[in-house]
Chain A
Amino acid sequence: MSGPVDGPVLTAAGIERGYPLPRRRPWGPRTTVAALRGVDLRVAAGERVGLVGTSGSGKSTLLRCLLALESPDRGTVTVAGRAVRPGSTASLRWYRRLVQYVPQDPAGSLDPRSTVRELVSVPLRHLQVPGDHAAAVTTALTRVGLDPDLAGRRPGELSGGQAQRVALARALAPEPVLLLADEPVSGLDLPVRDQVVEVLADLSARQGLGLLLVSHDLAVVARLCDRTVVLADGLVVEEGPTADLLTRPAHPRTRDLLDAVPTLPA
């Protein structure tokens, strides 16, 4: 494990980001749409935070800014006291070792031509993580509950749940302190979803990994996160302990989200 980090691991302050719209006429004025309009976010060491919002609320843009894949127009992202902004691969290595990422459709994020061993060792090699990489691959696979004997297989030879866990193991291999997960279980059938949620719960609750979970699935957020932040129209409209927020939503947009949860008729 990387050394303990005191205070907030990740801080985003006043993040603003807009995108230009295509001109209506070739000579017309250039207009922009604001995706983020001043977002503040803090994740403490070992904290588990849910980020919820409808599509178009700015979740994906915020995540891209936090991952230093995109530069905010205004505002700063700070990790363990150091500013983070898009830059050369080498200049971001320290950051990528501390903060890792599980993409949407994790199984699709595995190169079909590589073996599990190659896939999991990609961040170890490229982030220049010191130590025995073969052992680190085995450790990472064990942490997500996979048999290390699967290391020789290719993604096409894995079940859906196994592939998702390989993607998780790859993110965990450099031993980050914080995991950013973008809808990691959407599009999965229920048994597989429960498996992955259990692995995430085990990692964050028992192994001390911080988690920022982006999801529109409130059940998953309720299961995994201590605190929840609601994003709407590029602004944080409400945040608080997950239990309070789900039972006594204060903001109308939070209530809309809760009302949209499907329930079986009695």
Chain B
Amino acid sequence: MPRRGWVTAASRAVTVLGVVALIGVLPWLSGRSPELSILRARSAEQEATPEALAAIRAELGLDAGPLGLLGHWLSGLLRGDLGTSWISGGPVGPGLIEALGVSVTLMTAALLVALATAALLCWPPLHRVARGERGRTGGAVGAALTALPEFLLASVLLLVGAVWLGWFQPFGWTGPSSVVLPALAMGLPAGGLIGRLVADGLTVTGTERWVPTWQVAGASAGQLSRALVRRTLPALTTQVALVLVGLTGGAVAVEQVFAVPGLGRAVLGAASAQDLPTLQAGMLLLLGVSAVFGGLAALTRALLLGRALRSGSVPVPARTTPSRRRDWLLPAGAAGLLVVVVAAGLGRDPLASAHPRLAAPSVALPFGADASGRDLLARVAHGAVQTVGTATLVVLATLVVGVLVGLLPRASVGPVEVANAAPPVIVGVLVAAALGTSQAGAALAVALVAWAPIAAYVAAASEEVRRQRHVTVLPVLGVGPAAVTWRHVVPAVLPAAARNAVLRLPGIALALAALGFLGLGATPPAPEWGLLLAEGMPYVERAPWAVLAPTAALVTTSVLAVSLSGLSRRPRRPAGPVAVPAGTTAPSPEQPAAVG
């Protein structure tokens, strides 16, 4: 319907403009007064008279209020002026363009790694299905390991590839060899995720009825493989695009770990130094990179689907993989391990420096001690409680917001798409710039993006409920739209939405840890996991246990997150008796299948 199309398009446009405007008014939101530092940066001699400071404020448009500030910023952008640094006093444009070049090189390399990883993961299921075997989504453990968050994988790769093996240089950007580890750290998780999505899709496509028809008709394994891929990919392009846009978030963490002078590190540095013009321009460039990835995905989808896209008959991936009891083994094992660690460490003191610095693990100190002589077991256990507590609050917030927004499927398209695509790290940088760094800020940043999958789920599920016959009949019985929504749609959708939200808890905990690791969340001496890892990194050669304890906890949580997210995608049991549609007949042996 044309009207619906307009609502969707307007929703997208308003959201993108809103994000740009938000970036534009960041200096006003943060309420900081940068004039003194700018004056000092420009000249050491000039006296900080009220007149001189006011002149700088006027020059930056800081006293014009949010709208004037936005206009000042936008008109500068149109003239090609990305702004003036609050730290150095110089223009931010040239340095950031250079950083963009570094980041694009890194992202391209990471993309190649991702495609290779995805192809490796998809090959076995494709091979099985094309040979006519019932494909099974395989390699759950391998897939779980490739789905580690980037900051964690980057730390592990740095530890193994640069420190222990000494094959690659640990820091900087000097030549082709410095691309390898960062590209692996960004590409492996992305490729693992894409590979898992496509492998699942291929397995499900393999159960469709046309596959045996083709086999009986004598299609070769190669022809069948091509058809399977062509049938599976269109439905997944949107999700693959999200993974690629997520590379921009990965870039922040990975560039920080390997000290790569790219856009992500520049943005992070600007956020911690409160250099908002650099942050604004960097964000805008990252947004542009995301838009390019999104546009490429939309183009691919249009080319793969052609007319089917406009006629509305887009193939929807059917999820029919049955849930097996052994699917619960991995998450149950990971959760059990975490519970044991928490139980063992909760009674110990996480803050007292009561042990020798960097003491090695022993019976009295099972995980060793950190650089301040604090008990790592106690810190990991208390960190788990703090992280899980925060994550639980975030989950509740996302459930409420997700359900409310998901009930307006067309108007919420834009916000859902942007929040879905926005990496938590990027949002964390923005929140930290506006509000300063704190655990609450990190929780807000994660909540700002984590509601989107719930909203998307509620939107899809409520559309499905609204199409059920016992709901379509309600208007004729005099039930108004509000009553249909609150008395019939919400009660039907809420239980599954809540389950979906709870299963995302470990993922949210990891996102919080990533922000803590980058210095955008909890502040020392809090025993937050990401912070523990960041604190241990400088001592990785002398005392690897300072890194190993939080790494092990985070890896276990990743395994939990990935194995649970697999379960959340399984179909729900229908809520009531299913009526057999008129005209369906069981296939009878008298009617041989027509083979062309």
Contacts and interface: CB of A to CB of B under 8 A. Distances in A.
Interface of A: 20, 22-24, 26, 67, 69, 88-90, 92-93, 96-97, 100-101, 103-105, 107-113, 122-123, 126-128, 155-156, 170, 174, 186-187
A128 B473 CA distance: 17
Contact of A101 (B307, B476, B488, B582): B476
A126 B579 contact: no
A126 B480 contact: yes
* 4 tightest Cβ-Cβ pairs between the two chains A and B: A112-B576, A187-B582, A89-B480, A126-B478
Contact of A108 (B2, B469, B481): B469
A113 B478 contact: no
B479 A112 contact: no
A109, A110, A156, A174: which has the most chain B beta carbons within 10 Å?
Answer: A109
A23 B577 contact: no
B576 A105 contact: no
Interface in B419-478: 468-478
Given A109-B473, A111-B471, 12 more contacts: A22-B311, A67-B476, A90-B480, A92-B478, A100-B476, A103-B473, A109-B469, A122-B478, A123-B478, A126-B478, A127-B478, A187-B580
Given A24-B307, A89-B478, A108 B470 contact: yes
B576 A156 contact: yes
B480 A26 contact: no
B312 interface: yes
Contact of B576 (A100, A104, A155): A155
Interface string B11-43: 000000000000000000000000000000000
A170 B469 CA distance: 14
B476 A96 contact: yes
Contacts of B312: 22
Contacts of A97: 478
A126 B310 contact: no
A126 B483 contact: yes
Q: Which of A67, A103, A174 has the most CB of B within 10 A?
A: A103
B473 A89 contact: no
9 contacts: A20-B2, A89-B475, A103-B473, A105-B579, A105-B582, A108-B469, A112-B470, A113-B491, A122-B477
Contacts of A107: 579
B575 interface: yes
A219 to B, nearest CB: 16
Given A96-B477, A100-B476, A187-B581, A113 B575 contact: yes
A173 B494 CA distance: 31
Contact of B577 (A100, A104, A156, A187): A156
Contacts of B575: 112-113
A142 B480 CA distance: 28
Contacts of A100: 476
Interface residues of B, number: 31
A126 to B, nearest CB: 4
Given A126-B478, A155-B576, A22 B310 contact: yes
Interface of B: 2, 307, 310-312, 468-481, 483, 488, 491-492, 575-577, 579-583
Contacts of A96: 476-478
A108 B488 contact: no
A187 B474 CA distance: 22
Listed residue (B312, B470, B491, B581) with the most chain A CB atoms within 10 angstroms of its CB: B470
A127 B469 CA distance: 20
B593 to A, nearest CB: 25
B475 to A, nearest CB: 6
B479 A109 contact: no
Nearest to B310: A22
A88 B478 CA distance: 10
B470 A109 contact: yes
B477 A170 contact: yes
Contacts of B470: 108-112
B576 A127 contact: no
Nearest to B474: A122
Nearest to B492: A113
Given A113-B576, A155-B577, A23 B310 contact: yes
Contacts of B469: 103-105, 108-109
A69 B474 CA distance: 11
A181 to B, nearest CB: 12
A17 to B, nearest CB: 14
A186 B581 CA distance: 10
Contacts of B580: 187
A68 to B, nearest CB: 9
Contacts of A112: 470, 575-577
B52 to A, nearest CB: 58
Contacts of B492: 113
Nearest to A127: B478
Contacts of B480: 88-90, 126
Contacts of A101: 473, 476
User: Chain A CB within 10 Å — which of B472, B473, B492, B576 has the most?
Assistant: B473
Most buried by B among A93, A96, A128: A96
A26 B579 contact: no
A187 B469 CA distance: 15
A254 B5 CA distance: 41
Contacts of A104: 469
A93 B469 CA distance: 21
A99 to B, nearest CB: 9
Contacts of A26: 310
Nearest to A89: B480
Contacts of A105: 469, 579, 581-582
B2, B483, B577 interface centre (most CB from chain A within 10 Å): B577
Nearest to B302: A26
A126 B479 contact: yes
A217 to B, nearest CB: 11
A203 B475 CA distance: 24
B576 A123 contact: no
Given A22-B310, A22-B311, A108 B579 contact: yes
Which of A104, A105, A111, A113 has the largest number of chain B CB atoms within 10 A? A111
- Looking at B2, B474, B476, B491, which has the most chain A CB atoms within 10 Å of its CB? B476
Nearest to A86: B475
Nearest to A99: B476
A92 B475 CA distance: 10
A96 B476 CA distance: 7
A11 to B, nearest CB: 19
Contacts of A22: 307, 310-312
A238 B580 CA distance: 34
A109 B473 CA distance: 7
A69 B582 CA distance: 24
A113 B575 CA distance: 8
A164 to B, nearest CB: 11
Nearest to A21: B311
A188 B320 CA distance: 29
A149 B473 CA distance: 25
Nearest to B578: A108
Nearest to B479: A126
A156 B469 CA distance: 15
A53 B483 CA distance: 35
Most buried by B among A93, A110, A122, A170: A122
Nearest to A112: B576
A127 B475 CA distance: 10
Contacts of A20: 2
B577 A127 contact: no
A259 B488 CA distance: 44
A105 B491 CA distance: 23
Contacts of A67: 476
Given A105-B469, A108-B469, A111-B470, A127 B477 contact: yes
